[in-house]
Amino acid sequence: MSKLREDAGGAPDKNLSYRDAGVDIDAGNQAVQRIRSLVASTRQPEQIGDLGGFAGLFGLPAGLSDPVMVACTDGVGTKLLVAIALDRHDTVGIDLVAMNVNDLIVTGARPLFVLDYIACARVEPAKIEAIVAGIADGCRQARCALLGGETAELPGMYAEGHYDLAASAVGIVDRPLLLGPSKVRAGDVALGLASSGLHSNGFSLARRALLDPAHGGMALGDPLPGGLGESVGEALLTPTRIYVDALARARDLEGAPLHGAAHITGGGLLENPQRALDDALALRIDLDALRPPPIFRAIAAQGVSRAEMLRTFNCGVGMILYVAPTRAAEVQAALEELGEQVIRLGEVVPRGADEEAIQLVGGADLFAAD
């Protein structure tokens, strides 16, 4: 038979509460009230019901002949350590949405909704509100709903003040409009869409290179070397760009000139582009066309090789579009009308049996200081 554990005086503590154990239900309820209007700001026409149910409800969009559901999951990673150190939490939610929807849209899909998960040592309602404000901002940029989520207070699992973010995104595409390796062909032009910086990849290397006393020894408040007046911390926290509108514009052009796309995420420019190519094709990249933002040059200056930079970071290109060569100028112009910085990055070529999927040309001074 089990026995109640007794205190030093011999009597069991009959007043122990969930709050005493580290979980504050009242703070959790307050956080929900603070984010209600933020969640409502992302509402989409197909959405059913409101915040507070056990699950989110979302109807299928009309007009699809053969709908295919698309889903993905991702997080923000150790970029959160920079947000925690700076006590700035209003942008990492954008990163959370971006890392998911940018993966999703390369299939040709439209994002429908995002589900978020926030795990923390202790629910601080104002901090949760700031995080969700960023998530809602990202959802509005992605034109999708924040359909639901979970905030988990896990005392003892996370250090005080620390938290982690993860999310899943769901989208839909008509099967005939799917993009991918089956549609990309030799001769297609690779158009690169500029990144805003590191996005949310490679932060373990970036923090080591810039902040570790054995390497860069910089503080987050120091000016970024070669930057335009921003601090190291500001450069590191620059939100990931969301390419939903850009992909939609290219995808919907008459005659379907967009054949495929690659999100340049973990693995950088050496591993991601071929994920949209079949084994008989390679991408020849003209590195001289790249203009990496200052954050990349600052990292490379700490002894990170060009090869390591290219296989870790996006190096200034957040998304690659593979387009029909006769339509490349038209697609580029359409994207530039949206405000995109478009780089004619290279060309899809046949791949020999002993050839690499990514073939680099130029770029000897890619990360040299201006």
CATH number, residue 261: 3.90.650.10
Residue 192 DSSP class: E
One domain for residues 143 and 41: yes
Out of 155, 177, 199, pick the residue that ends a domain: 177
Q: Note whether residue 6 is domain-resident.
A: no
Non-local (6+) Cβ contacts of 368 within 8 A are 297
pLDDT at residue 6 tops 70: no
Token duo for residue 304: 């990170």
Helices and strands (H and E) in the chain: how many: 11, 12
pLDDT of 313 above 60: yes
**In a shared domain, residues 196 and 171:** no
pLDDT band, very low/low/confident/very high, at 167 (cuts 50, 70, 90): very high
Above pLDDT 70, what percent of the chain? 94
Measured CA distances, 81 to 155, 207, 305 (Å) = 18, 9, 24
The answer to whether position 200 is within a domain reads yes
Query: Is position 30 within any domain?
Result: yes
- 334 or 56, higher pLDDT: 334
* Residues 225 and 343 reside in one and the same domain: yes
pLDDT tens per residue across span 41-52: 888 888 888 777
Residue where one domain finishes, among candidates 177, 209, 237? 177
Specify the pTM: 0.92
The domain total for the chain is 2
Residue 12 has a pLDDT of 60
At residue 318, φ and ψ (nearest 5 deg) are -90, -20
- Residues 203 and 105 grouped into a single domain: no
Region of poorest pLDDT, from 1-15, 37-51, 233-247, 335-349: 1-15
β-bridge mates for residue 111, sequence order: 171
pLDDT at 9: 53
- In this structure, is residue 242 part of a structural domain? yes
The answer for 226, left when phi > 0, alpha when psi is -120 to 50, beta otherwise, is left
Name, in order, each residue with C-beta under 8 angstroms of 243's C-beta and a sequence gap of 6 or more: 102, 105, 193, 263, 318, 319
Q: What is the pLDDT of residue 198?
A: 97
173 and 81 together in one domain: yes
60-64, 164-168, 337-341: range with lowest mean pLDDT: 60-64
When the pLDDT of each residue in the chain is averaged and rounded to a whole number, the result is: 91
* Residue 157 shares a structural domain with residue 207: no
Q: Quick check: is 62 in a domain? A: yes
9 in any annotated domain: no
Q: Using CA of residue 223, residue 226, residue 228, residue 233, what is the dihedral sign?
A: negative
Residue 329 has pLDDT above 90, yes or no: yes
Give the torsion through C-alpha atoms of 53, 31, 237, 190, to 10 deg.
10
Q: Which parts of the chain fold into alpha helices (H)?
A: 25-40, 79-86, 92-105, 125-142, 203-211, 232-237, 244-251, 268-271, 294-300, 306-312, 328-337
Same domain, 66 and 172: yes
Same domain, 99 and 199: no
* Cβ-based burial of 153 (10 A; exposed 0-12, middle 13-18, buried ≥19): buried
Q: Is the pLDDT of residue 7 over 50?
A: no
CATH number at residue 99: 3.30.1330.10
Instruction: Write out the residue range of the structural domain in which residue 213 sits.
Output: 189-361
116 with 84, same domain?
A: yes
Per-residue pLDDT at 10 exceeds 70? no
Domain end: 138, 156, 177, which one? 177
Report, as an integer, the average pLDDT of 96-110.
Answer: 98
